[in-house]
Structure 1
Amino acid sequence: MTPYKPRRLLPAALVAGALATGACSTHTAPDGDDSTSPARRTAAHTDVLFIGAHPDDEFQSLAAFGQWRERQGLSTGVVTITRGEGGGNAAGPEEGPALGVIREREERAAVAHAGIRNVFYLDKPDFWYTLSAPLTAKAWNRPPQQPTDTLARLVRLIRATTPKTVVTMDPRPFGQHGGHQEAGRLAVEAFRLAGDPAAFPEQITKEKHAPWKPGRLLAQNWTFDGPAGERCAARQVTDPHTGLPVMGVWPGVPSRDHGKTWAQVERDAARTYITQGFGTLPPTVGTPANRLPCEWFTVLAEDGRQVTAPVHPQTGLRPLYAEFRDWTQKVHMPWLANDAQPAYPPAPATTVPDVAEAPVVDGTAGPDEYPGETLHLTHWDGKECTPDDCSADARLARHGDDLYVLVHVTDDRKGAPLDARNDCKRHWRTDSVEIDLDPRGRSDDTSTTFRTGILPFTAHEGGPCAERDADNHQGPASSTAPGMTVASTVTDPYHGYTVEAKIPLADLPAPVDPARLTANILVYDSDTQDKTGKSRLAWSPYGSAQADPYVWGTLHLPGYTPPPDHPAPAAELPLEAARSQDSPASVSQSTCTGIPLGGGTS
């Protein structure tokens, strides 16, 4: 390992000529290597290799990749581990593999703006939004695959494409998609192992790849608050958490080929991601050039060696952060765990009254139905809004084994009504209420929790509908929470709605601990007809309030006696993925590069 020494973005020895324009044009091998290995002088070679989890993970770095191509002749290839089958869809009802097919088309069109030709998909499944890298790893390497299957594919791709620079996602855990974290972790490990002949030796002895050791490893740093303007790229700056150096690429540079700034090219590329709602971004970048921030990358390794930093151990780590600390020690980069666990604020708490008569679930608060305190929801994410634009409060009660929740929402504009017959899902795309419950109050991710999304109104005057999402068992509430009932009232003329729900505690994935049950109540406000969100409110509005059970507040249930304990059932994860063999673009690319589909062996 070596301390970081600032130098040019990439050494002149890496410049491999102009980007080839033919579909199967040959790239010159880096550093003049004339080896007979198949990857050394073929269309498989790329100077820079980006490793991400989903289509669109690269888009905030496209200005950098495009500049490197125009200024230094450096080609970039993209590895996308999944096709984003578990993400949202603002363009239609497709989900699962059908959505993955659409998102591949969007990604290939987007990266082409930066001159990127090759996108390698590993065909791993994308499921719902989670903050857990360990849960993601299990999904990506489920039996009969080996626990190292995804890592082996990445090592193979690095050996096949021979990049000098690998760029990946930030592996740190707080407030970040578990897929992003796991992509970053795997890239760190693959960067180190690709040059080791003892790592996955069959790739060398049977597949005839040669060990390949990249020189530089960078991680996107989306949260870094560095200087803006043209000179931001020349500044020597340090990440305040890890202590590692951060390099910047300024997107205000004009593109020679496009005749506009790279910030604008990147915006044009982003708007191709229609399913992710990016099509609603303003067509023109309005930020003045002197206020454009750099695209920032943490320098993890230079000249093939890790860049070091002082280590500041944290104590009192919760399990998810302790697991990350252990991983950083395993890969000999313990400074990555500096400040990884944030200073969580005190979570709210309330006592849920036990009422003598069950509330009538009709979308209104009858006399004495909810005698407990009113919980006020506050801004959590997105655009802040005025009380008349979006505000909400909630009230709770318990009768026997049933929890009752009533949420009143003030809203000035209706979002898009979804069709309850085939589109009662992914509720965050429009106006909705979400209720999250952790029965034992000790979950590290939402796979052992109950989360329901409730639409207060649907198309064709269909009334409310409810589903479960990103929890232990997803799907329509009628099948995943059969004892649950919902009702709503919607004002006319419209200025808001009230949602009421009965949730049987027996529908939760484990018996409720009456002293440790935790919960969050969230409201999504859309104000548009394009199935995208605008503002979000929450009872406990910190971090990723919907996905981080460590944030949720406590519901005390005095007098409640739970049934006997039993193990929580294994989480139901949607693990069907789109396949490269069914993608004409991927098949054509594989024929061109000689790299097998899915990064596999054949």
Structure 2
Amino acid sequence: MSAHRPRSFHPTLLVAAVTALLVGSVVAPASATAAQGRDPAHTDVLFVGAHPDDEFQSLATFGQWKERRGISAGVVTITRGEGGGNAVGTEEGPPLGMIREKEERSAVALAGVRNVFYLDKPDFWYTLSAPLTGTAWNRPPQRGDDTLERLVRIIRATTPRTVVTMDPRPFGQHGGHQQAGRLAADAFRLAADPKAFPRQIAVEKYKPWKPDRLLAQNWGFDGPAGRQCAARPAKDPRTGLPVVGVWPGARSRANGRTWAQIERDAARRYVTQGFGSLPAKVTTPPDQMPCEWFTVLARGGKPVPAPVRGQGQLRSVYAEFRDWTRKAGMPWLANDAQPAYPARPSTAAPEVAKAPVVDGVAGPGEYPGPELRLSHWEGKRCDGPADCSATARIARHRDDLYVLVEVTDDRQGAVLDARNDCKRHWRTDSVEIALDPRGRSDDTSTTFKAGILPYTSRGGPCVARDADNHQGPARGVTVASTVTSRPYTGYTVEAKIPLALLPAAVDPERLTANVMVYDSDSPDKTGKSRLAWAPYTGAQADPYVWGTVRLPGYVPPSGRPPRSATLPLDAARSADSRASVEQSRRTGVPLAGGPRA
């Protein structure tokens, strides 16, 4: 997120003209606007996201549109973020979802957004897979298009002129974000088709509705900064599509603060996600303040065309995305979608005659294999080896894998409760070990992943499985740690992982793995730096990145068939939310986008 700084600003005629150009096509004809203005469900702009807080980096835009042109905005949030972290408590699952709904409603209200529609779909652990997310959102006995049907119904009920959503492209972003973008694009097209979900028209008495424009957030666009950023024509270099911007440095007429500052105030309402630790004041000078960028996917109700650049030798995830773009009538979205993955690192885990003692110390002869050096993967770069650096060693004894990770660190992170917070390892200093038994997984639901806290409020370490084939207690895994103190200079973590715990029999020539270190340097349960043996983007959630670990001499026992993933799919319900129930009564839009009686 960009850090913005407020400064006095008097809008020029140029900026006013640009704003009019940008929002003009959002406005309905006068007669339509008058009719819709009497409809309590109507909104001029409808944002579609996956989780509470997905809209927050667009709130300066929505606030300006509301104040300058009277253009209302509403939000569809497909889940309540039940699978996310909690930086201020131990609630998880549906109770956490209810807290996040309150945060979201409070935040978006600062930008003049009144209605937030939840689809009551389950949020589970962090994944980079849109297909896995779609499966979770439409699990039996629901039909495979249940989420899409609900979203089409909400578009027909709220009659927006513009739909804004998330980037549907697959690389390096949450699978829920990708799936929200795909669903919004499909619903944008189908809401106008009377043959799509015809019961909504014949029985529920909705009318087909054709929005004019479809925009996608473009957080990674490197456009110009300053008040004139919205005035310059821009094009996304990957898709070839036009990009439009809204400058958050303009001041609100209501209170004189910049919209960047109002957006920051809103972001700090999402305290469960650690956003409460963001600086209270925006400090970026206006001439360095970038626009909020949006790719124009469709206008006039039709996709904006662009040249198509095909890619060969696509991996499964990217081939599936390419096929979706063709069905959606926007094949150019697949341009350069698959990155140039680097060569996988590789090593061997030698077999040792005597099992290492799991005590947090590298004993003589326990780890004869090569030392693996971890390097920066995400977050702030370390301020030298003493700030954060790490190495790992791997060995095997019979049917057990042993991993020893030595971490140098100059400042201790939050001390968490082993009983309630062990699975939230990425909120503080921790180690994560990921294993793909066959080396061919497309997402982590067919892998094993364990997060290890080197220290807890009980003194010793704890371990839990996270975002893998069976998230929860890491039964059967043995861990130990040694932590330096007075002064604190780091820790060593050692783990014994029975290969029988992996979701399939191990292929000794194709096992892939990653070892990651999270460095916090803060007591507020937020991360700072991340290191990994295989340090490419998506290191913790993209098995395509992980390195190969050969197991010389290993023969897996027979009788270990692949195990299906168990996903935590409890979702909070709108029927249990007083705010959602009251909104439904006021707008007439059924709870969770369900059918109208």
Counterpart selection for 1:409 from 407, 419, 422: 407
Amino acid at match of 1:302: R
- Aligned counterparts of 2:160 and 2:119: Cα–Cα separation in 1: 18
1:15–1:72 CA contact under 8 A, matched in 2: no
Per-residue Cα deviation, 1:193-223 (whole angstroms, up to 9, x for no partner): 0011111011011111011000000000011
Counterpart selection for 2:23 from 6, 10, 14: 10
Among all aligned residue pairs of Structure 1 and Structure 2, give the percentage whose two residues are the same amino acid: 72
Counterpart selection for 2:284 from 280, 287, 300: 287
Give SS of 2:458's match: helix
Amino acid at match of 1:561: V
Per-residue Cα deviation, 1:248-295 (whole angstroms, up to 9, x for no partner): 011111111231111111011000110000000011111111001110
- Aligned counterparts of 2:423 and 2:181: Cα–Cα separation in 1: 29
Q: What is residue 426 of structure 2 aligned with on the other side?
A: 428
Q: What is residue 478 of structure 2 aligned with on the other side?
A: 485
Counterpart selection for 2:203 from 202, 206, 211: 206
Amino acid at match of 1:150: T
- Aligned counterparts of 1:156 and 1:495: Cα–Cα separation in 2: 56
Amino acid at match of 2:522: T
Shift of 1:13: 8.0
Per-residue Cα deviation, 1:164-185 (whole angstroms, up to 9, x for no partner): 0000000000001000000000
Q: What is residue 362 of structure 2 aligned with on the other side?
A: 365
The answer to whether structure 1 residue 551 and structure 2 residue 575 are counterparts is no
Shift of 1:305: 1.1
Runs in 1 of length 4+ with deviation above 3 angstroms? 28-32
Per-residue Cα deviation, 1:358-405 (whole angstroms, up to 9, x for no partner): 111000000111111110001111111121111100011111111100
Alignment: residue pair count: 576
- Aligned counterparts of 1:98 and 1:129: Cα–Cα separation in 2: 18
Give SS of 1:122's match: strand
Per-residue Cα deviation, 1:38-62 (whole angstroms, up to 9, x for no partner): x773110000000000000000000
Amino acid at match of 1:428: W
Q: What is residue 270 of structure 1 aligned with on the other side?
A: 267
Per-residue Cα deviation, 1:464-502 (whole angstroms, up to 9, x for no partner): 110000000011113xxx2x2100001122110000000
Counterpart selection for 1:499 from 493, 501, 513: 493
The answer to whether structure 1 residue 399 and structure 2 residue 392 are counterparts is no
Q: What is residue 237 of structure 2 aligned with on the other side?
A: 240
Give SS of 1:227's match: coil
1:521–1:538 CA contact under 8 A, matched in 2: yes
Q: What is residue 192 of structure 1 aligned with on the other side?
A: 189
Q: What is residue 3 of structure 1 aligned with on the other side?
A: none
- Aligned counterparts of 1:213 and 1:115: Cα–Cα separation in 2: 24
Q: Residues 78 and 60 (structure 1 numbering): CA distance in 2 closer, same or farther, change over 3 Å?
A: same
Counterpart selection for 1:350 from 320, 339, 347: 347
Q: What is residue 507 of structure 2 aligned with on the other side?
A: 513
Shift of 1:590: 0.3
Q: Which runs of 5+ in 2 are unaligned?
A: 1-18
Q: What is residue 526 of structure 1 aligned with on the other side?
A: 520
2:234–2:242 CA contact under 8 A, matched in 1: yes
Give SS of 1:151's match: helix
Q: What is residue 159 of structure 1 aligned with on the other side?
A: 156
- Aligned counterparts of 1:122 and 1:249: Cα–Cα separation in 2: 29
Amino acid at match of 1:145: Q
Amino acid at match of 2:396: R
1:29–1:40 CA contact under 8 A, matched in 2: no
- Aligned counterparts of 2:61 and 2:267: Cα–Cα separation in 1: 14
- Aligned counterparts of 2:356 and 2:81: Cα–Cα separation in 1: 41
Shift of 1:71: 1.0
- Aligned counterparts of 2:514 and 2:37: Cα–Cα separation in 1: 54
Per-residue Cα deviation, 1:523-559 (whole angstroms, up to 9, x for no partner): 0011111111111110011111000000000001111
Which deviates more, 209-218 or 378-387? Answer: 378-387
Counterpart selection for 1:457 from 448, 455, 458: 455
- Aligned counterparts of 1:70 and 1:137: Cα–Cα separation in 2: 36
- Aligned counterparts of 1:112 and 1:13: Cα–Cα separation in 2: 21
Q: Residues 29 and 456 (structure 1 numbering): CA distance in 2 closer, same or farther, change over 3 Å?
A: farther
Q: TM-score, normalised on structure 2? A: 0.95
Shift of 1:460: 3.3
- Aligned counterparts of 2:471 and 2:127: Cα–Cα separation in 1: 13
1:380–1:545 CA contact under 8 A, matched in 2: yes
- Aligned counterparts of 1:181 and 1:15: Cα–Cα separation in 2: 29
Amino acid at match of 2:493: V
Per-residue Cα deviation, 1:544-591 (whole angstroms, up to 9, x for no partner): 100000000000111111122643211111100000000000001000
Q: What is residue 312 of structure 1 aligned with on the other side?
A: 309
Q: How does 1:469-484 map onto structure 2 within 5 Å?
A: 469-478=466-475, 482=476, 484=477
Counterpart selection for 1:123 from 105, 120, 123: 120
Shift of 1:425: 1.2
Give SS of 2:238's match: coil
1:404–1:502 CA contact under 8 A, matched in 2: yes
Shift of 1:105: 0.5
Counterpart selection for 1:59 from 56, 67, 92: 56
Amino acid at match of 1:142: R
Q: What is residue 3 of structure 2 aligned with on the other side?
A: none
Give SS of 1:509's match: coil
The answer to whether structure 1 residue 170 and structure 2 residue 164 are counterparts is no
Q: Residues 13 and 61 (structure 1 numbering): CA distance in 2 closer, same or farther, change over 3 Å?
A: closer
Counterpart selection for 1:301 from 298, 303, 322: 298
Amino acid at match of 2:485: D
- Aligned counterparts of 1:59 and 1:7: Cα–Cα separation in 2: 23
1:393–1:407 CA contact under 8 A, matched in 2: yes
Shift of 1:15: 6.3
- Aligned counterparts of 2:216 and 2:230: Cα–Cα separation in 1: 16
- Aligned counterparts of 1:219 and 1:197: Cα–Cα separation in 2: 25
RMSD: 1.4
Q: What is residue 537 of structure 1 aligned with on the other side?
A: 531
Amino acid at match of 1:470: A
Q: TM-score, normalised on structure 1? A: 0.94
Give SS of 2:64's match: helix
1:30–1:164 CA contact under 8 A, matched in 2: no
Q: What is residue 582 of structure 1 aligned with on the other side?
A: 576
Per-residue Cα deviation, 1:321-355 (whole angstroms, up to 9, x for no partner): 00000000111110000000000011100011111
Give SS of 2:57's match: helix
- Aligned counterparts of 1:388 and 1:196: Cα–Cα separation in 2: 61
- Aligned counterparts of 2:464 and 2:499: Cα–Cα separation in 1: 16
The answer to whether structure 1 residue 330 and structure 2 residue 327 are counterparts is yes
Amino acid at match of 1:536: R
Amino acid at match of 2:400: D
Give SS of 1:200's match: coil
Q: What is residue 14 of structure 2 aligned with on the other side?
A: none
